[in-house]
Amino acid sequence: MLFFNLSAFYFFYFAAVGVYVIFLPKVLQDIGYSTFDIGIVLALAPLMRFLTPFMFLKHIKLNQKMFKTALYLSVLSSACFYLTIENFYLFMINNALLGVCLSLILPYLEVTAISTLGKEKYGKSRLFGSIGFMIISLVLARFLTQPYIAIHYYLVLNVLTVIFAISLLKYDIEHKIEQNSEPFSFLKYWPFWMSLFFMQISFGAFYNFFTIYETQHGMSLEMTSYLWSFGVICEILMLYFQAPLLKNNLLTIIKFCVTITTLRWVLLYLYPDSLGVTFLTQSIHAFSFGLYHSSVIIYLYSLYENKKLAQQFMYGVAYGLGGFVGAIIAGAVYGEFLFIFSALFSLLSLIALYFVKNKNLI
């Protein structure tokens, strides 16, 4: 039952992410937002993901009560999309609230997943999130005829996410163990945190503007959705078969993933209108997200005693601050050289990794 509930949570959570990442930029563009406006709006949720964990260093505990509050507020925020999407400033506030909620939900349950399933089964549960992301990319591309259709999907998926998240609370075993853990420190492993930060900046162009970028280079919206889905299929295959790879040195795996991601961005710059090359770059998502994400999650799980806070900061520093800066930069530099900037940041991520002591902790 644990595996089913956790897999269902991942499925609906990342299906909702699919609506937000793939279709919301296009929706905002269609109702009159500029690319810079889109970058600002989509950067707010990641920024709140970065800021929120700092409140949990001393003064607030990420316990079950706080977790439930975040779940219910995420539904409220999703419902308020109907009222705020036409107003730039109100929509900014709404996205900020959503970002606070998301900064608590996924990190909390990632610890439950790793501690109860282990690295052998973690990927096989997490891949259902990728399946949800892929299915929504295919379905919504056919039915997105007006902006509010995307909001309908997002709200329903968010409610289903909350239902399965609550069902997982009885499996939470870490909240008692971590009460007496050692103080959390960035400085002890600062090069690794810098690498996470730069890696996610490099994804700013992809997550926020890939759909717009490809459609402006001659791809149809439907074909772009197929490209998203193909990348996710490759990611799913990696998540299913990755367990033997994760027995090797995790830091070496992470370095390889960052290296091939740099190649991915260079190819998108060189051949933006080549369908074959774009499919090739999407296949690299198996490494630049699937294997990379699992390796980072498990590596951090071993580095810190306070595992929930470590996961919070991983999402905060990487997907939060990195996502915020990446979205701002991508919105500002959008144009021919968009993915050259991505390649430069992923290269900085790789350089930072060479300052991390190369040892395997698992």
Taking only the tens place, the pLDDT of each residue in 104-118 is 898 888 888 888 887
Q: Is residue 286 predicted with pLDDT exceeding 90?
A: yes
pLDDT band at 301 (very low <50, low <70, confident <90, very high): confident
Min mean pLDDT across 28-32, 91-95, 275-279, 292-296 is at 28-32
Mean pLDDT, rounded, for 183-193: 84
* pLDDT score of 288: 95
pLDDT band at 339 (very low <50, low <70, confident <90, very high): very high
CB 207 within 8 Å of CB 39: no
pLDDT band at 173 (very low <50, low <70, confident <90, very high): low
Token pair for 360: 């395997």
Range of 21-30, 120-129, 269-278 with top mean pLDDT: 269-278
pLDDT band at 10 (very low <50, low <70, confident <90, very high): very high
- In 3D space, the residue among 281, 311, 309 whose CA is nearest the CA of residue 294 turns out to be 311
* pLDDT score of 192: 95
Q: How far apart are CA 228 and CA 116, in angstroms?
A: 31
- HSE-up (13 A, CA, CB side) for residue 54: 9
- In 3D space, the residue among 330, 334, 343 whose CA is nearest the CA of residue 43 turns out to be 330
pTM of the model: 0.80
Range of 15-29, 231-245, 253-267, 323-337 with top mean pLDDT: 253-267
The pLDDT tens digits for 218-272 are 888 889 888 988 998 999 999 999 989 988 899 999 999 999 999 999 999 999 9
Packed helices 147-167 and 64-79: angle between N→C axes, nearest 10 degrees = 160
pLDDT band at 358 (very low <50, low <70, confident <90, very high): low
Token pair for 236: 């799913």
* pLDDT score of 359: 54
